[in-house]
Amino acid sequence: MRTQAIRLILLALTFAGLTFAQPQIGGGTCSNASLSGNYWLSADGREVSSGTFNAVSQSVGTISFDGKGNFSLATTKNTNSATAQPITGNGTYSIPANCFGTLTAGGTTFSLVVWAGGKSFNVIESDSSGNVSSASGGPLPSACATSTLSGAFAVSGNGFLLSGSTITGVVTINGILQFDGAGNVGSNVTFAGEGQESPGNGQGTYTVNTPSSCLGSITFPDKNGNTVVSFVISNPTGGDFQYIASINGAIFSGGAHPVFSNPSQLVTNGASFVGDVVAPGSIFSIFGRDLGPNPGAYGSEIPLPTNVGGTSVTVNGEDAPIFYAGARQINAQMPLDVKPGLATVKVTNGTTPSNSAAVYVPSAAPGIFTYGPNNHAVVINPHGATNSDAIPAHVGDEVVAYFTGGGPVNPSGPWTTGAAAPPGESPLASNNFSVTVNGKPAQVDYIGLTGGSVGLYQANFVIPQVAAGDHPLVITISGIASKAATISIAD
């Protein structure tokens, strides 16, 4: 019966394979270049004999593909015999057009499947001795920090109970890890195994070891020794991580996901509300709960205050000027001297600090101010009226669009954090910018700071030749495009 079942499976797969020769709507092809760059990796291995687990392994780490058929990896591995073993290596891979190829390491060849257009992959391997291995991975974030993990994460996993190096049973874990974004973590989890459930509550510490690799570790001290968790952040927004853990008498592997939105996504451009991208000098918004006074309060004077209604905001420990502070939202200015890269944002309401959150700070990240339900750009027409469906602009008109996140400028006078921009023209320092309407480039007569305002930029441009109607307006600076906003054009 087993042989017959295998034949039927192979027959089904053979006929299924014929569909690749048929015309397809959509689709594409793969090559070695489909995997290129740094990826997270999570792997499991088992040696099974007569239905009994003789050996198991669990690992997490990183793997780097060169897009030409070579890779290198760095992982941490737990087995039933040893824990926290560093493993490094390299090998080759081959991806044909159908995305189903091979990966070879240490003399072993694995089946490799690439999916999501090269954003993810799976590998498996089995041999005649009963060894079975599998792994999966996807792109790493561009950089990580301890504050990348912040807030409540739902954690789950599966593992094995051990007596020495002998596998005696299986166990699962489910619960919540609460990260403060500053290196402290609390656990409220349940372990289930051998027909029993037991709580696993405690306080520990964590760190991201190297920002470029997004690897890290968590330590929970307990009476039987330390519970050590090794992890790799596995989501480009920092919203997930894969882990392995060694607990007295057990090893685990699994994943964790934010219970709510990852805090980094709730530190946003103050105009477009795009998360996790805030340039120095720009207006940014923070969303959450119990952030500030209720009702909210405004920073009504310029230079802007750094404490409004008892609420303050720091970026890498530096006070940020505040436009508005309320219970659910804060609007502030990113300090001008924050260096590009990852920054840590923290709110203090009275004497109570929030969790810390990571935010990516590029040199520029434009966001166009909008109004109304249709995401209409704040654009001023030639005669001073705000652009709208009822009051459109015309081809050839010079109009002014307002945005934030323009980045460095050549200021016409002193320009400091929280103070009004100097009068006169302060054009962008970069010449790498464009304004498009419905994808067509516009002539830009000025793009830079708006004098007398804080964190505000403007683009003076001429409407290109486009048809009448509502069209997307996009501002791009140093290769970073704004979220599209709507501009109305008439004949």
pLDDT of residue 10: 41
Residue found under tokens 């930029």: 457
% of the chain residues with pLDDT over 70: 93
Q: What are φ and ψ of residue 264, in 5° steps?
A: -60, -30
Instruction: Give the residue among 372, 321, 363 at the shortest CA–CA distance from 338.
Output: 363
Domains of the chain: 29-139 (2.40.160.90), 146-258 (2.40.128.120), 263-361 (2.60.40.10), 367-490 (2.60.40.10)
State the pLDDT at residue 224. Answer: 63
Report for 5-19, 72-86, 311-325: range of highest mean pLDDT:
311-325
| Residue percentage of the chain with pLDDT more than 90 | 78
Q: Is the pLDDT of residue 109 over 80?
A: yes
Tens of pLDDT along 402-432? 999 999 999 999 999 999 999 999 999 999 9
For residue 214, which of 185, 189, 251, 243 has the smallest C-alpha distance?
Answer: 243
Q: What is the pLDDT of residue 225?
A: 63
Instruction: Compute the average pLDDT of residues 72-76.
Output: 95
Tell me which residue has tokens 């404490």: 307
CA–CA dist 318, 402 (Å, integer): 27
Is the predicted pLDDT of residue 325 greater than 70, yes or no? yes
**CA torsion 240→226→248→40, rounded to 10°?**
30
Render pLDDT for 13-42 as a digit per residue (tens, 0 to 9): 444 444 455 677 888 899 999 999 999 999
Q: Which of 212-216, 415-419, 441-445, 464-468 has the lowest mean pLDDT?
A: 212-216
430 vs 227, residue with greater confidence: 430
Which of these, 100, 415, 119, 480, lies nearest to 279 by C-alpha position?
480
pLDDT at 13: 44
